[in-house]
Amino acid sequence: MAFTVTRIIFVILGIVGTFLALPFATSIVLGEGLKLTLSYAIPMAVSWLFAAIFFFAGKKKKMNLSTKASFVTVALSWLFMGFLGAIPLYASGAIPNLTDAIFESISGFTTTGATILSEIECLPRSINLWRCVMHWVGGMGIIVLTVALLPILGVGGFQLIKAETTGPEKGKLTPKITTTAKVLWFIYLGMTVIEAILLMIFGMDFLDAISHAFSTLGTGGFSTKNNSIASFNSAAIDWICWTFMFLAGINFSLYYYIFIKKWNDITGNTEFKVYIAITVIAAVLIGIFESPAYGSFLKALRYSFFQSSTIISSTGFATADYTTWSPASQAVIFALLFIGGSSGSTAGGVKVIRWVVIARQFKNEILKIMHPHGVFTIRLNKQVCRKDIVFTVTAFFFIYVLVVAVTTLFGAVFGLDIFSAFTGAVTMCGNCGPGFNLLGPSCNYGFLAAPVKWLYSLVMIAGRLEFFTIAILFSPAFWKK
């Protein structure tokens, strides 16, 4: 079993290493120097070498992956991805501190978007491209990509995907999980290409366009500019990024239903309707609160829609510093930090569907008190929700609150004020990026103590895998035979 796990991990790292070809080619074309070019070429070549060795070494063996091995494989894959992604950042000298390079890499792959960098525009363009590529790879999930590309591995693809993907329910769009994975990545790629083209039409150059398309669809938030999207000072670019941030926060299964014309599955999707409602209500409220500052309600809406979507989708782009807004607007933004996007999307956060389940269960508990002999159920997507979903959601909230509390305490011990520590913990757990106070959208994470950065890195991975995968590994019962 150890060989199977090792084999899959190295194959995954080989696939991740392939994406280094993008900044590698960019570095050569732009003539950014031998040292920078080698910082991509060497880890790319080494990842390919080990992937080939382990792939062909076990080609004749039948691979069966247990549930336990699936969790170990996924957790270690994400950890080693973070180390691999950090190599170009550190070896090139772009981020000379190893802890900072690993933090930036893990933030990239988990699509958190929290950066230790204060000056981004002075970095080589290939480095900024790599930062955004990491978002795109991590957004849909490298395990999903691996299952799509290499079904010949012969392992339990669905088990691996369940350990990586988001939301309380995991299902197959098609009878074969490999086909489902291909469908999801095809949709993801198509949307990325469309956004990149639109951004180029409205003023971005090629590298900026594909970099921001990667960040947007991956809901990560890394930018090539110090002031993020605000640097372009373009309403058209704002609305393009807003559109695709909003779309990336929707369950990608719904896009597949559009292709096969399952309109009832779209219009009847509970989470989809609630996600739209929350985004619109939040944007309108902020627009009303900020109208005096921007001179008109319509102008305020440009910024309110963008910021509400960038927070609920956990992207973290900025067209304004919301910490300078009115307390009422900040309260709305603060609430959105806890909500997140849809399950099955690239967005982070708690997820809308979990809040729906908790809210409806709360309503049922009230009804039970009023009518002790009544029978009450939760309905999702016009169907009765399974009871085990309620239990799973409740367990998620418990571990979420526990990790936020511990992470907040750890940050406070190392000098953060309590509100910065708390919002930092929330953004790490939800892979949201910006918080408040010292960790707001105009700040960075570079000043944090090294132990805090290491804990935050672990929490980012745990949050990306929605805690259960990591929690299981820390459970003594998991390691008993």
Residues 57 and 186 in one domain: yes
Count CA atoms closer than 13 A to 41's CA, side-chain side: 10
CA distance 171 to 181: 11
Q: What is the DSSP string of 47-100?
A: HHHHHHHHHHHTTTSPP---HHHHHHHHHHHHHHHHHHHHHHHHHTSSS--HHH
Residues 63 and 170 in one domain: yes
Residues 226 and 202 in one domain: yes
Cβ neighbours of 414 (radius 10 Å)? 14
Give the end of a domain, one of 334, 357, 389: 334
Give the end of a domain, one of 219, 248, 277: 248
Alpha helices by DSSP H, listed for 295-351, are 297-312, 327-337
Q: 3-class DSSP state for residue 293? A: helix
Residues 205 and 290 in one domain: no
Residues 188 and 163 in one domain: yes
Please choose, from the candidates 185, 190, 196, 194, the residue with its C-alpha nearest in 3D space to the C-alpha of residue 143: 185
Q: List C-alpha distances in Å: 478 to 92, 136, 311.
A: 40, 32, 35
The answer to whether 312 touches 349, Cβ cutoff 8 Å, is yes
pTM over 0.75, yes/no: yes
The radius of gyration of the chain from alpha carbons, rounded to an integer in Å, stands at 22
Residues in the chain: 481
Two structure tokens written together for 198: 């639109």
The verdict on residue 459 lying in a domain is no
- Per-residue confidence (pLDDT) for residue 157, from 0 to 100: 55
Residues 226 and 328 in one domain: no
Give the end of a domain, one of 334, 362, 379: 334
The verdict on residue 393 lying in a domain is no
What is the domain count for the chain?
A: 2
Q: Print pLDDT tens along the chain (481 aa).
A: 677 788 888 988 999 999 999 999 999 999 999 999 999 999 999 999 999 988 887 666 666 667 777 788 888 899 999 999 999 999 999 999 999 999 999 999 999 999 999 899 999 999 999 999 999 999 887 767 666 655 555 555 555 556 555 556 555 555 566 777 788 888 999 999 999 999 999 999 999 999 999 999 999 989 999 989 999 999 999 999 999 999 999 988 899 888 888 888 888 899 999 999 999 999 999 999 999 999 899 899 999 999 999 999 999 888 888 889 999 999 999 999 999 999 888 888 899 999 999 999 999 999 989 988 888 888 888 788 877 788 888 999 999 999 999 999 999 999 999 999 999 999 999 998 788 999 988 889 999 999 999 999 999 999 998 888 888 888 777 777 6
CA distance 318 to 305: 11
The verdict on residue 442 lying in a domain is no
- 229 DSSP assignment: G
The verdict on residue 416 lying in a domain is no
The CA-CA-CA angle for residues 451, 440, 302, to 5°, reads 150
Helix (H) or strand (E) holding 185: helix 177-201
Q: 3-class DSSP state for residue 384? A: strand
The verdict on residue 307 lying in a domain is yes
> Residue 227's domain spans which residues?
2-248
CA distance 374 to 370: 9
Residues 212 and 320 in one domain: no
Residues 50 and 179 in one domain: yes
- Per-residue confidence (pLDDT) for residue 277, from 0 to 100: 96
CA distance 455 to 114: 14
Count CA atoms closer than 13 A to 100's CA, side-chain side: 18
Residues 303 and 232 in one domain: no
Two structure tokens written together for 440: 């707001």
CA distance 406 to 408: 5
Please choose, from the candidates 439, 437, 429, 428, the residue with its C-alpha nearest in 3D space to the C-alpha of residue 397: 429
Two structure tokens written together for 223: 């930018």
Q: List C-alpha distances in Å: 412 to 415, 416, 438, 444, 468.
A: 5, 5, 12, 17, 25
Residues 164 and 44 in one domain: yes
Residues 38 and 81 in one domain: yes
- 317 DSSP assignment: -
Angle between helices 67-91 and 450-464 (to 10 degrees): 130
Residues 75 and 200 in one domain: yes
The answer to whether 168 touches 391, Cβ cutoff 8 Å, is no
The verdict on residue 72 lying in a domain is yes
The verdict on residue 237 lying in a domain is yes
